[in-house]
């Protein structure tokens, strides 16, 4: 059973998808949600500004929820990162509402995203930490700092791929192994047989 | 907006195509090729206005007044008005940043120091830039529009083009580009979202970060026939300021010690036979 707040946010998102951030009003959201304006204001006393801010963070959290779903089955640190980067990159490229907002009204979105990026980064770091610890750190490398560094880099690559083709599994593997994990961990994930070979490629795993 | 259009001039590869009054960023660094002697004065005036009151207090009138020039003179130099001036501001400041970076990186002797000095210098200058500070505080959307997503790709390309030549002494051009882009990402990340634990305006913090996270990822340092990495700068000397990559071992109990050459991850060569003091569980 979807609670009222979620219902309003979902409706607001539908409006944003249709009309963009600047044009979506409290009235639009209320109508879409089948609720009164008064109800919407009750949940969002800050009015339109609060509603817009919250719908951005709402979709941001949903994005990372989808990302989590995608990677949580991964066995190794390398697989988590490779799969995560590829999926996140694809999701951003294919996110129609995001792309449209970035094209037409980035100033409505970027300040909120930037503020939220600290929280997002912490979330990614917290997610990676157990994988890091399980894998084994290079000596003298603080796991918390390493997780923070990785989270920063992951966010950087998925939002701006630069010279990298993040749809190419080979390139993503190379990226993860050198620029992300090289200084953080030592060698591939330990295996039960004590072998030290390079872990299986991402495409081998599925 | 115009500023963004002009900012593209530093990444577009055809300087010859541009208006002769507005050449490449290299020229803007010194202003030597500029036709008008007033150009730099107007740009600096615009910077002063931005630092004091942001874009709303940086009209052509404000700029002219600050520069001690007439409106007519300003428009003579910058026919495109305010947007063109703001574009020139971006070009000029990037040129100045790159010039300072070049001096600092050119003075360094080893790869670790080049990277640490470059990162430290860049973060410091960006962090302390008066106009940027004002804008970030009061008009974040203005700045962020040039830093997010696709705009960042352009910035990464520009910075890569500038930084990579300083790295080819130690690696092939392709890897130099890769590492240059990586270092730029680090600068951007820590500038936009500072960390309480790592202050990259401090050269020691910068060295620590570079030594820990960056140098191990540089392929050129993994000399396959040697048992130790080469030219790692302060950390190779084991001066105690941070973890030495040459002595890295698995810290998880029960794992075998790793020969320094093997500690470089995902090296597809077979393990060396000379494992150091065995760390059996």
pLDDT given at position A190: 53
Topology of domain A1-54, per CATH? Arc Repressor Mutant, subunit A (1.10.10)
> For chain A, where do the domains classified as CATH 1.10.10.60 start and end?
1-54
A contacts of B265 (beta carbons < 8 Å): 177, 181-182, 185-188
B contacts of A139 (beta carbons < 8 Å): 243, 247-251
What is the C-alpha to C-alpha distance for residues B66 and B49, in angstroms, rounded to an integer? 7
Kindly report, residue by residue over B162-198, the tens digit of the pLDDT: 999 999 999 999 999 999 999 999 999 999 899 989 9
Our CA-based measurement puts residue A135 at a distance from the nearest CA of chain B, in whole angstroms, of: 8
Q: How confident is the model at residue A107 (pLDDT cuts 50, 70, 90)?
A: confident
- CB–CB contact B150 A198 (8 Å): no
- CB–CB contact B248 A139 (8 Å): yes
Kindly report, residue by residue over A25-56, the tens digit of the pLDDT: 999 999 999 999 999 999 999 999 999 999 99
What is the C-alpha to C-alpha distance for residues B45 and B101, in angstroms, rounded to an integer? 23
pLDDT given at position B143: 86
> Nearest CA to A56 among A92, A93, A101, A123?
A101
A contacts of B192 (beta carbons < 8 Å): 114, 117
B contacts of A198 (beta carbons < 8 Å): 266, 268
> Nearest CA to B103 among B89, B113, B93, B118?
B118
Q: Flag whether residue A97 sits within 8 Å of chain B, measured between CB atoms.
A: no
Name the DSSP class of A190: P
Q: Are A117 and B193 in contact (CB under 8 A)?
A: yes
Distances (CA, A) of A169 to A83, A89, A93, A174, B179: 9, 12, 16, 9, 20
Kindly report, residue by residue over A130-168, the tens digit of the pLDDT: 999 999 898 889 999 999 999 999 999 999 999 999 999
């Amino acid at each position: 059973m979807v609670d009222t707040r979620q219902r309003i946010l979902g409706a607001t998102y539908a409006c944003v998808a249709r009309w963009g951030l600047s044009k979506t009003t409290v009235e639009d959201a209320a109508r879409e949600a089948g609720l009164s304006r008064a109800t919407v204001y009750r949940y969002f006393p800050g009015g339109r500004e609060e509603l817009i801010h919250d719908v951005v963070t709402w979709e941001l959290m949903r994005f990372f929820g989808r990302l989590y779903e995608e990677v949580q089955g991964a066995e190794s640190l390398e697989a988590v990162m490779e799969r995560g980067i590829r999926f996140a990159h694809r999701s951003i490229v294919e996110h129609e509402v995001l792309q449209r907002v970035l094209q037409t009204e980035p100033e409505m979105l970027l300040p909120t995203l930037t503020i939220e990026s600290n929280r997002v980064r912490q979330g990614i770091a917290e997610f990676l930490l157990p994988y890091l610890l399980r894998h084994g750190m290079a000596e003298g490398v603080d796991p918390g700092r390493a997780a923070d560094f990785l989270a920063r880099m992951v966010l950087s690559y998925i939002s701006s791929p630069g010279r990298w083709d993040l749809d190419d599994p080979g390139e993503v593997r190379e990226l993860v192994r050198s620029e992300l994990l090289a200084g953080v961990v030592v060698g591939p994930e330990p295996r039960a047989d004590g072998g030290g070979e390079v872990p299986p490629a991402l495409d081998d795993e599925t | 907006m115009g500023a963004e259009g002009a900012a593209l001039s530093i990444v577009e590869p055809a300087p010859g195509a541009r208006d002769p009054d507005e050449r490449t960023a290299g020229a803007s660094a010194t202003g030597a090729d500029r036709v008008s002697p007033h150009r730099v004065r107007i740009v600096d005036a615009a910077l002063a206005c931005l630092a004091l009151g942001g874009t709303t207090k940086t009209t052509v009138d404000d700029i002219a007044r600050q520069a001690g020039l007439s409106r007519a003179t300003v428009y003579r130099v910058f026919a495109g008005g305010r947007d063109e001036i703001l574009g020139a501001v971006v070009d000029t400041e990037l040129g100045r940043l790159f010039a300072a970076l070049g001096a600092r990186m050119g003075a360094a002797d080893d790869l670790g120091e080049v990277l640490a000095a470059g990162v430290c210098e860049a973060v410091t200058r960006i962090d302390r830039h008066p106009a940027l500070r004002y804008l970030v505080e009061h008009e974040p959307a203005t700045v962020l529009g040039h830093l997010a997503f696709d705009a960042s790709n352009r910035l990464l390309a520009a910075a890569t083009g500038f930084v990579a030549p300083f790295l080819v002494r130690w690696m092939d051009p392709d890897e130099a580009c890769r590492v240059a882009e990586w270092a730029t990402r680090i600068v951007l990340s820590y500038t936009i979202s500072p960390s309480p634990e790592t202050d990259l305006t401090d050269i020691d913090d910068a060295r620590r970060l570079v030594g820990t996270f960056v140098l191990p990822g540089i392929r050129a340092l993994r000399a396959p026939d040697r048992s130790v990495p080469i030219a790692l700068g302060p950390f190779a000397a084991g001066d105690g300021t941070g973890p030495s990559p040459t002595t890295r071992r698995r810290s998880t109990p029960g794992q075998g010690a790793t020969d320094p050459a093997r500690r470089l991850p995902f090296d597809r060569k077979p393990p060396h036979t000379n494992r150091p003091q065995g760390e059996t569980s």
